[in-house]
Amino acid sequence: MTATPATVIQIAESVVAEINAGDFSKKNLAAQRLYVPNFDLEDMKELRVTVVPREVEYLPLDRASNKFHATIDVAVQKKFSKGDAKEIDPLVFFVEELADYFRLKRLNSFVAARCVKVENAVLYSVEHWTQFNQFTSLLTLTFELAK
């Protein structure tokens, strides 16, 4: 008997599937789910989209069920050469596309979960910018369902 993955994993996998199937400005994406995104700088020449399950919150809904919040981080990363607007603006736009796509979205392969919050607290990491010449943006999605 195969065990059903944890709910947060099912949601993260659904986010990966939605990104990979989506019609975004960046084509031929290969988003992947990881626990700890750890890439060599050489690997960052190509656009990387990493989905990381981060946090789960259980809130009482009624006597028999909980309101379940799953927080999923989506990292968008790419090494740049100049870091000028021509190179970075399309990446910022892509992150915004992802944010717009997931806002209030029910996941196609996990319709019980609906995105109730989208946050882009790290528009770009200054540390990655200065140390690695790398654009790193972090989008945080919170999905809610009754469980």
Please tell me the predicted confidence (pLDDT) of residue 28: 84
pLDDT in tens, the chain (147 residues): 567 789 999 999 999 999 999 999 998 889 999 998 888 877 889 999 999 999 999 988 888 888 999 999 999 999 999 999 999 999 999 999 999 999 999 999 999 999 999 999 999 999 999 999 999 999 999 999 988
Amino acid 27: pLDDT: 86
Task: Provide Rg for the chain, Cα atoms.
Answer: 16
Cα angle value 89/90/94 (rounded, 5°) = 120
Q: Closest Cα to residue 20, out of 9, 10, 31?
A: 31
Cross-sheet strand order for the sheet of 32-33: 32-33, 48-60, 66-79, 134-146, 110-122, 106-107
In this structure, what token pair is assigned to residue 99? Answer: 């944010």
User: pLDDT value at position 78?
Assistant: 95
Q: What's the distance, CA 10 to chain centroid?
A: 14
d(CA 110, CA 102): 13
Run of H or E residues at 119: strand 110-122
pLDDT at 70: 96
* Torsions phi, psi for 4 (to 5 deg): -75, 135
**Chain centroid, CA 12 distance in Å:** 8
pLDDT of residue 60: 87
Dihedral sign computed on CA atoms, order 78, 82, 85, 90: negative
